[in-house]
Amino acid sequence: MRPALLLIALSLACKLIAAESSLNVTAQQLDYYLLQAFYSSTPAQRLPLHHIGVQGQVTANGFLVTAVLENYPAHEAGLNRGDVIVSSNGEPFHEIYSFNPDAQHSATIDPINRSFTLEVIRDQQTFHVDITPVYENLFDSYRSATLASIQEFSAGNKIIGYVHFWALSRATNDLIAYQDLLQALVNTDGIILDLRNSFGFLDKHQFALFQNNDPQLQITAPAQWLEDWQQSSASLDVEPYRKPIAVLTNDYTRGAAEILAHELSRPDRVATLGTRSAGMIGDYSEVEPQGSFNYRPARETQIDGFIFEETGLTPEVEVSYPAAESRRDDPQFEAAVNLLLGII
């Protein structure tokens, strides 16, 4: 085989291996605890763990931080997207075991109050930070970070609001909380709805926060979690936000968040920015007793006549922001501000 063809074959093989590995999420990954918390039938079943409020991925150099939750230890310690955590207390960093050593031997993680020293690389510079994890399930953490994300700031002579919907929930209390968040921004001239790295389940009241009419979504052959998206636990009196909206998406926007972004992009007053979403609208099922989740792609599911799985949402304005790129500014956020100022 010629060298060029060999390189192409190896590239395709690597992509296939990566795709297959993403179909199974084990208890050695933070994502397992996120899925476990969201798919639990009751709050009591959600597994707590010690964590610092980050999302990330394992790389050859360490754990690459791809997102930081507002008001959690990593955020308070100044860790940023693009940082690489190399070690904890002098040992190679592990996203679960560094803060939860008992998780290697037991499904039960007992609470402790302990500080850790992390070695972090940023812009090829190494520094150390002392940090104390919280003990909490990730459903509650994502809910808290959403509530803590709300901002209001001046841009030119306009007031712009910001909220990051880290988690989309169908619970009545959460739907009311979302409504309160939007009500707090009612006097702004436009808002940035951040759906980057967002996850969760779809509910018709989430759409009602932003639009008067019923959702126009046409969903055929829905994955199991999508079958009952119109069923709400209570009837809420929602006053929608009627002003311009910039919706941010990225490679880690998945599930309900990408469908929400798709539906909201219909009116002229709403624009989507960022990078293409993950295209992951399938179902997860827990495997017992192995302690893992298997992902079933929704390759037959169509959203408004299009296959969403592995395709995702392509935003109207594409703004690159690679996860490994460590920088002080946020080009996607800044593009959203500039776009809103052009609409308002």
Task: Report angle CA 310, 311, 315 to the nearest 5 degrees.
Answer: 140
Whole-number Cα distances in Å, 34 to 130, 156, 170, 225, 256: 25, 39, 16, 16, 15
pLDDT for the residue 290: 66
pLDDT for the residue 5: 38
Count of Cβ atoms closer than 10 Å to residue 305 Cβ: 7
- Rounded to an integer, the average pLDDT of 204-233 is 87
Output 111 or 18, whichever has higher pLDDT: 111
pLDDT-derived band at 234 (thresholds 50, 70, 90) equals low
User: Taking 60 as the threshold, does the pLDDT of residue 21 lie above it?
Assistant: no
Q: Please state, in angstroms and rounded to a whole number, the distance separating the CA atoms of residues 62 and 261.
A: 32
- DSSP per position, 200-233: E---HHHHHTT-SSPP---EES--GGGTTTT--S
Helix (H, G, I), strand (E, B) or coil at 299: coil
User: Taking 80 as the threshold, does the pLDDT of residue 245 lie above it?
Assistant: yes
Q: Please state, in angstroms and rounded to a whole number, the distance separating the CA atoms of residues 86 and 94.
A: 9
**185: its two tokens:** 């921004």
Per-chain mean pLDDT for the chain:
90
* Residue 2, φ and ψ in degrees, nearest 5: -65, 150
User: Could you say which DSSP state residue 282 is in?
Assistant: S
| Percent of the chain surpassing pLDDT 70 | 92
Domain 21-136 listed as CATH 3.20.20.70: no
- Rounded to an integer, the average pLDDT of 28-54 is 95
pLDDT for the residue 22: 53
User: Taking 80 as the threshold, does the pLDDT of residue 2 lie above it?
Assistant: no
pLDDT-derived band at 8 (thresholds 50, 70, 90) equals very low
* Helices (H), ranges, 22-122: 30-39, 73-76
User: Taking 90 as the threshold, does the pLDDT of residue 118 lie above it?
Assistant: yes
pLDDT for the residue 108: 76
CATH fourth-level superfamily of 149-343: 2-enoyl-CoA Hydratase; Chain A, domain 1 (3.90.226.10)
Task: Report angle CA 131, 253, 100 to the nearest 5 degrees.
Answer: 30
Question: What is the domain partition of the chain in residue ranges?
Answer: 21-136, 149-343
What is the pTM assigned to this prediction? 0.91
- Rounded to an integer, the average pLDDT of 22-31 is 88
Task: Report angle CA 125, 127, 132 to the nearest 5 degrees.
Answer: 145
Output 326 or 117, whichever has higher pLDDT: 117
- Rounded to an integer, the average pLDDT of 233-253 is 89
pLDDT for the residue 289: 65
pLDDT in tens, 293-330: 999 999 999 999 999 999 999 999 999 999 988 888 99
pLDDT in tens, 135-169: 999 999 999 999 999 999 999 899 999 999 999 99
Q: Please state, in angstroms and rounded to a whole number, the distance separating the CA atoms of residues 28 and 83.
A: 21
User: Taking 70 as the threshold, does the pLDDT of residue 46 lie above it?
Assistant: yes
